[in-house]
Amino acid sequence: MTSKKRAQAAQTPRGPTNPQKRGDIGQYFADTPPANKPPHGPKMAPISPASHTLSPADSPVPSVDSEGSVRDILRTLPTREDLENMLQKLEASFTTRLESVGADIKHVGSRVQALEEERELLEDRLLHLETGMLSHNTHLQRLHRTLDDQDNRGRRNNLRIRGIPEPHDAREILSDTLRPIFNALLRRSPEAPIHFDRAHRSLKPRGAPTAAPRDVICRFHYYRQKEDVLQAARNREVLDMDGNILQVYPDLSWTTLQARRILKPITDVLRERQVKYRWGYPFTLQTTLEGTHFVISGAGDLPPLLSALGLEGVSIPEWYGGMSLDL
């Protein structure tokens, strides 16, 4: 730039050329507001006269009435004596209630003690009754066993024959029918004498013509003769005159038959292991296993035999009425 141009630039004012725009901005910096705009007032709320701080000289003096009301309020407040009386009343009330609760607790305690004593008495009586019931159970089983033995002794000369045809249109004489059968079994003459006290069918209603014939029960006059026939029937096949196969059994009481059915799981195992056993009278099951002899007369004798056979899990009930009397 030349010196001439510099002189011209120095003479030219640097401010804005538009005076109107300068006036618009300058109004914010001028000491007096523009004429066309009202002056702004203070934005703070006016101070009320009541909000001025009062000097100690200006503070209100309490009146006599206010002092009297304070004294009245203080008079109505409870005194130490009143509080002590109130506490005494509360203590008396609590004491009365606690005494009542204590009396109830003592009454309940006495009742509990009486119940405990009564329970101990009942336990003793129950133990006595259980002992008596077990003793009665043992005696009843013995009586039942004795009666069963008497029943079997009354049948000791009897035999039961199964399979003899039963006529439905004619009366039969069973002694004449049985004599040749037993003589053939004993390998004697058909006319050889065999003394029967009686012979009859089992005491139940006659069945249909197609039903199995009823068993025949005969009583021998001589026990030895009955035993000979029974032993021969165990070793030989028994046939009647028409060739029918017969079965011969000893005549036993119902209780003995039930006991044998109950003990069938044990006798089956003995047969499988080819261990010999026999039935005794009064009713017993007798066997010898590994040098130990077992005699079973009741369910209480079974545990050692079951343990020897490895049948601890088998349950055998009492066959002399013990199931209904067990406690």
Give per-residue pLDDT as tens, 45-95. Answer: 555 544 444 444 455 555 556 777 887 787 788 888 888 888 888 888 888
Residues contacting residue 145 through CB under 8 Å, at least 6 positions apart: 282, 283, 297, 298, 320
User: Is the pLDDT confidence value at 281 over 90?
Assistant: no
Q: Looking at residue 56, what is its pLDDT? A: 47
Nearest CA-CA partner of 239 in 231, 230, 248: 248
- Once rounded to an integer, what is the mean pLDDT over residues 106-115? 90
Contact 296, 99 (CB under 8 A): no
Q: CA 252, CA 151: separation in Å to the nearest integer?
A: 8
| Chain position carrying tokens 């006798």 | 267
- Once rounded to an integer, what is the mean pLDDT over residues 221-246? 91
Q: Looking at residue 230, what is its pLDDT? A: 94
Contact 220, 226 (CB under 8 A): yes
User: Is the pLDDT confidence value at 162 over 90?
Assistant: yes
Q: Looking at residue 63, what is its pLDDT? A: 55
User: Is the pLDDT confidence value at 39 over 80?
Assistant: no
- Once rounded to an integer, what is the mean pLDDT over residues 285-293? 91
Q: CA 290, CA 293: separation in Å to the nearest integer?
A: 8
Under the banding of pLDDT at 50, 70 and 90, the label for residue 153 is very high
Least confident of 61-70, 271-280, 303-312: 61-70
Least confident of 45-54, 137-146, 179-188: 45-54
Q: CA 3, CA 6: separation in Å to the nearest integer?
A: 5
Residues contacting residue 162 through CB under 8 Å, at least 6 positions apart: 215, 216, 246, 247, 248, 249
Q: Where in the chain is the domain with CATH 3.30.250.20?
A: 89-154+253-327
Which architecture characterizes domain 158-251 according to CATH?
2-Layer Sandwich (3.30)
Q: Specify the pTM.
A: 0.58
**End-to-end Cα distance, the chain:** 138
- Total residue length of the chain: 327
CA angle 156, 185, 153 (to 5 degrees): 0
Least confident of 173-182, 225-234, 294-303: 294-303
Q: Looking at residue 131, what is its pLDDT? A: 92
**DSSP string of 131-185, one letter each residue:** HHHHHHHHHHHHHHHHHHHHHHHHTTTEEEEE-----SSS---HHHHHHHHHHHH
Cβ atoms < 10 Å from Cβ of 152: 19
Q: Where in the chain is the domain with CATH 3.30.70.1820?
A: 158-251
Q: Does domain 89-154+253-327 have CATH number 3.30.250.20?
A: yes
Higher pLDDT, 176 or 75: 176
